[in-house]
């Protein structure tokens, strides 16, 4: 049994359960600079260059989760260029500056943070080349250094970019960061069972994991949710998608999850399962 996720595993779309589908669609389209890829009934799929990034599922019967619950910390959208990231940041500044919550240089990346109209965290970021990342004893060096958003815009926002020249440039979910009840359970599920590699660890505070040497595809922290138990149905995170590189990789994942006693729904196309906090994950072949 292969103990690790296939190295070419990446993240797929993130599904959000939303109360106001029109307002949330407008936000991710007009502020975050995603495009509507499809809109059918209660579901809107937004992305860039044909790549689904956020799926909005209208769920008006659900309420917001109680404070301190497990769930989504943020959805992190990875832009291929600093110019495209600058365009999105400029859009936020122009259309919804009140949603901006901060920025940081993480050594491996440059990141800007905000909150959508229903309280879901978002990170917009760009990666430095992997050759510039520093690893020590199997852990990637990350930090939280000051990053001036105005200086970033001055450096990367040309007239062409401000006018929308990067609007169709590709972007994707780079990573998903969860709020969980405890790090030990997160490590047991995401590393031992699911097969991610640990790339960084902050004691009992946070854990960062990835496949194939990426700085992190997923992270879990207890900063707002220590001690939280399984989630009840609520607005916010609906599903996290994993994009598997091959049918063999999908089969190996199914074998490993079953070996560890994790309940898996297998429809022949995808595997659907839940983590200890009832967060739903769906693994399927990359498009």
The tens place of each residue's pLDDT in the chain, 287 residues long, gives 778 999 999 999 999 999 999 999 999 999 999 999 999 999 999 999 999 999 999 999 999 999 999 999 999 999 999 999 999 999 999 999 999 999 999 999 999 999 999 999 999 999 999 999 999 999 999 999 999 999 999 999 999 999 889 999 999 999 999 999 999 999 999 999 999 999 999 999 999 999 999 999 999 999 999 999 999 999 999 999 999 999 999 999 999 999 999 999 999 999 999 999 999 999 999 98
Cβ distance 277 to 188 under 8 Å?
no
DSSP-H helix ranges across 69-148 = 82-95
| Cβ-based neighbours of 187, under 8 Å, separated by 6 or more | 198, 207
Report how far apart, in Å, the C-alpha atoms of 251 and of each of 88, 238, 273, 284 are.
Answer: 38, 24, 14, 10
Please state the pTM of the whole predicted model.
Answer: 0.98
What pLDDT is stored for residue 287 in this prediction?
Answer: 82
């Amino acid at each position: 049994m292969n103990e690790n996720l296939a190295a070419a595993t990446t993240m797929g779309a993130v599904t959000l359960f939303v109360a106001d589908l029109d307002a949330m669609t407008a936000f991710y389209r007009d502020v975050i600079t995603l495009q509507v890829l499809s809109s059918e009934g209660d579901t809107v799929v937004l992305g860039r260059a044909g790549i689904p990034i956020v799926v909005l599922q209208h769920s008006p019967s659900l309420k917001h989760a109680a404070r301190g619950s497990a769930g989504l910390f943020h959805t992190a959208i990875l832009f291929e260029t600093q110019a495209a990231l600058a365009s999105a940041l400029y859009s936020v500044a122009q259309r919804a500056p009140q949603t901006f919550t901060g920025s940081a240089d993480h050594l491996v990346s440059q990141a800007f943070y905000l909150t959508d109209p229903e309280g879901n965290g978002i990170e917009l970021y760009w990666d430095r080349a992997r050759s510039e990342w520093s690893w020590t004893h199997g852990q990637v060096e990350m930090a939280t250094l000051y990053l001036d958003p105005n200086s970033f815009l001055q450096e990367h926002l040309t007239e062409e970019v401000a006018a929308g020249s990067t609007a169709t440039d590709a972007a994707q979910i780079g990573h998903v960061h969860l709020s969980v009840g405890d790090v030990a359970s997160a490590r047991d599920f995401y590393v031992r069972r699911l097969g991610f590699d640990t790339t960084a660890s902050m004691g009992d505070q946070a854990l960062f994991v990835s496949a194939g040497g990426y700085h992190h595809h997923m992270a879990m922290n207890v900063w707002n949710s220590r001690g939280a138990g399984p989630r009840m149905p609520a607005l916010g995170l609906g599903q996290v998608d994993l994009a598997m590189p091959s049918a063999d990789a999908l089969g190996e994942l199914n074998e490993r999850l079953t070996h560890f006693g994790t309940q898996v729904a297998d429809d022949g196309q995808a595997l659907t399962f839940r983590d200890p906090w009832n967060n739903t994950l769906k693994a399927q072949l990359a498009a």
